[in-house]
Amino acid sequence: MVDLDRLTQAMGDLDEDTVMSILGDLEAGGESAAAALAACQAGMDVIGQRYESGEYFVADLIYAGDLMTDAAARLKPLLAGAGGASTGKLVLCTVKGDIHDIGKNILKALLEAEGVEVIDLGTDVSAEAVVAALQESGAKVLAMSGVLTFAVNAMKETVAALAAAGLSDVKVIVGGAAITADYCELIGADAWSLNAAEGAGICRQWLTA
């Protein structure tokens, strides 16, 4: 039986060897991949708390994002094999003027691990590029990230561009350090989250509705 608490602790400690060793046991034993993914995300929450307290630094967050991406990629076949895959497409980006991508990449890893087709436009993405990607892909969900305060204006402009292009039926979720409930309303988004696991859950609900 895989020790999920130990997996959470190892992730929180940035102990790559232990994380991958535990996931290797998971593959061999046929344990619940979804529970393991949740344990890894719980470890990411620990990392966030340690960053806020000053124990971890930006470099640690970057390393943590890579580790979570690798863990999710390893779990992806197990989740799909267990029937945990979702359907649908999602467009993802960090908005114009912002190049931060850690939160975006973690959300991508969580969604792809469950079979969601994520169209990742990268960072510093214009409203026009978002509209074009949605029109081309037919995706009905857009996730936008932004850490810097002025990212709020870029998000608002993107939502306005969706409406102008006749894409008002696209569900929009925003996230990042700059976002609050008031900003979500100002932007015109349907939902917001500062937690990747919570944000992924909202996206999955929309995609499977």
Domains parsed from the chain with CATH numbers: 4-81 (1.10.1240.10), 89-208 (3.40.50.280)
Inter-residue contact 138 to 90 (CB < 8 Å): no
pTM over 0.75: no
How confident is the model over 138-182, as pLDDT tens digits?
A: 999 999 999 888 999 999 999 999 999 999 999 999 998 889 999
Provide mean pLDDT across the span 40-52: 85
Torsional class of 30: left (φ above 0), alpha (ψ -120 to 50), beta (otherwise): left
* Mean per-residue pLDDT of the chain: 89
Is 116's pLDDT higher than 70?
yes
User: Which pLDDT score is estimated for 114?
Assistant: 67
Distance of CA 27 to the CA centre of its chain: 23
Provide mean pLDDT across the span 176-196: 93
DSSP symbol at 125? B
Provide mean pLDDT across the span 186-199: 91
Percent of the chain at pLDDT > 70 equals 94
| Residue 95, C-beta contacts closer than 8 angstroms, at least 6 positions apart | 124, 125, 144, 145, 146, 151, 154, 155, 158
How confident is the model over 29-44, as pLDDT tens digits?
A: 766 887 888 898 889 8
8 pLDDT band, cuts 50/70/90, is: very high
| Token digits of residue 191 | 């939902």
Torsional class of 166: left (φ above 0), alpha (ψ -120 to 50), beta (otherwise): left
Beta strands in 44-181 (DSSP E): 89-94, 117-120, 141-145, 171-175
Inter-residue contact 196 to 44 (CB < 8 Å): yes
Inter-residue contact 191 to 202 (CB < 8 Å): yes
Inter-residue contact 156 to 180 (CB < 8 Å): no
How confident is the model over 73-113, as pLDDT tens digits?
A: 888 777 765 554 446 899 999 999 999 887 888 788 778 76
Question: 92 burial class (0-12, 13-18, 19+ CB within 10 angstroms)?
Answer: buried
Tokens 């979804």 — which residue?
Answer: 34
| Residue 138, C-beta contacts closer than 8 angstroms, at least 6 positions apart | 89
Is 19's pLDDT higher than 90?
yes
Torsion 80-84-90-95 (CA) sign:
negative
* Least confident piece of the model among 22-36, 50-64, 112-126: 22-36
Is 7's pLDDT higher than 60?
yes
